[in-house]
Amino acid sequence: MPAAGLSDEALNFISYLGVEWVTTSGPGGPTYTREGEVVKAGTAPFEPPWKEEDVRRIKERIESFGLRAGNFMLHDFRDAILGRPGADKAIENVCESIRVAGKVGIPVVEYNWYALRAMGGYYNEPGRGGSQLSAHDYDRSRGLPPVPEVGAHSAVDLWKRYERFLKAVVPVAERAGVRLAVHPNDPPPPKYRGVEQILGSVDGLRRVCEIVPRPANGITFDTGVTREMGYDVVENIKWFGKRDQINHVHFRNVLMKIPRQKYTETFIDAGDNDMMACLRALHATGYPRLLHPDHVPEFPGDAPGQHGGWGYAVGQIKAMMRQL
């Protein structure tokens, strides 16, 4: 589970639920504006790469609550994604941060390859019992113009930059004993404000894995996004799993209406995915890493990091795991 701000309340809540592992942002981890631009998380000044003492401090904070650090989200490296003059330096910063993660003992470094995240299609809709669900409709963002600070970016250019990035950083990750996990475009519409969403399809994720076909170069397999894209989740668990390139899992459910365009993120037991079949498929591949509930519904009166939706999802997953 994620721990909001690594507060006492959030870390204790994870312990209450019997969850052992924490995912969190490393120093300078990104968040996003309403337009989908990357901004740095938190208020403390940060310049990449990661410093060993800073990463170790976060890990020790987590461990002081009897928990373990399993996945850190990488800092921003937008110059490499956008093809700006600082691309070489951005890639070297990523390489150094991966080395630091290996020294400290962070097994998985997760990252996004977003030129611009398609945030404009999100809205809220009511769920059962007064809960709040997150939904997406591409019609809300389809005609929005490019963001001047980002511009338009073609799939051809983004893939060219991404291939260069992977060939530089994956060997570093292998030497450091770290696995990389890229999250798919979430939401996954084909295009947003002039930016192609190249990881908005399973074909795109497969291409990532084939550029450098090594276990250190893997994905965050998101059962929700895979369904949002319109694909069979179980069959794709098998495809990525047999290559040992599932390095992290977001385990959630959705009600899908139009692939890549319109869907609702819902309770883990109320969507289109057969979550027990997904869990069995992961188990059959021998997947040994984290299973992360995500995008949970919010309940009235929830406190940050202490959503009743997290407790509900964790309980469902624990019950399913007992059936394996």
- Cβ of 72: how many Cβ atoms within 10 Å? 28
CATH topology (fold) of 4-321: TIM Barrel (3.20.20)
End-to-end CA, the chain:
21
pLDDT of residue 304: 75
- Per DSSP, the residues of 59-84 read HHHHHTTT-EEEEEE----HHHHHT-
User: Rounded to whole angstroms, how far apart are CA atoms 158 and 151?
Assistant: 13
pLDDT of residue 52: 98
Q: Which value, to the nearest 10 degrees, does the dihedral of the CA atoms of residues 206, 208, 212, 214 take?
A: -60
Provide the strand spans (E) within the chain: 21-25, 30-32, 38-40, 68-73, 108-112, 122-126, 132-137, 179-183, 191-192, 195-196, 217-222, 246-251, 253-258, 262-266, 291-293
Residue carrying the six token digits 């998985």: 108
Please say whether the beta carbons of 217 and 209 come within 8 A: yes
Q: What is the pLDDT along the chain (324 residues), one digit of tens a residue?
A: 998 889 999 999 999 999 999 999 999 988 888 889 988 655 567 899 999 999 999 999 999 999 999 999 999 999 999 999 999 999 999 999 999 999 999 999 999 999 999 999 999 999 999 999 999 999 999 999 999 999 999 999 999 999 999 999 999 999 999 999 999 999 999 999 999 999 999 999 999 999 999 999 999 999 999 999 999 999 999 999 999 999 999 999 999 999 999 999 999 999 999 999 999 999 999 999 999 999 999 999 888 777 899 999 999 999 999 999
Residue 116: both structure tokens together: 């611009």
Domain boundaries, given as residue ranges, for the chain: 4-321
pLDDT of residue 44: 64
pLDDT of residue 46: 86
Residue 322: both structure tokens together: 């007992």
pTM of the model: 0.97
pLDDT of residue 322: 97
- Cβ of 217: how many Cβ atoms within 10 Å? 25
Please give the DSSP secondary-structure letter assigned to residue 145: P
- Per DSSP, the residues of 97-109 read HHHHHHHHT--EE
User: Rounded to whole angstroms, how far apart are CA atoms 221 and 200?
Assistant: 12
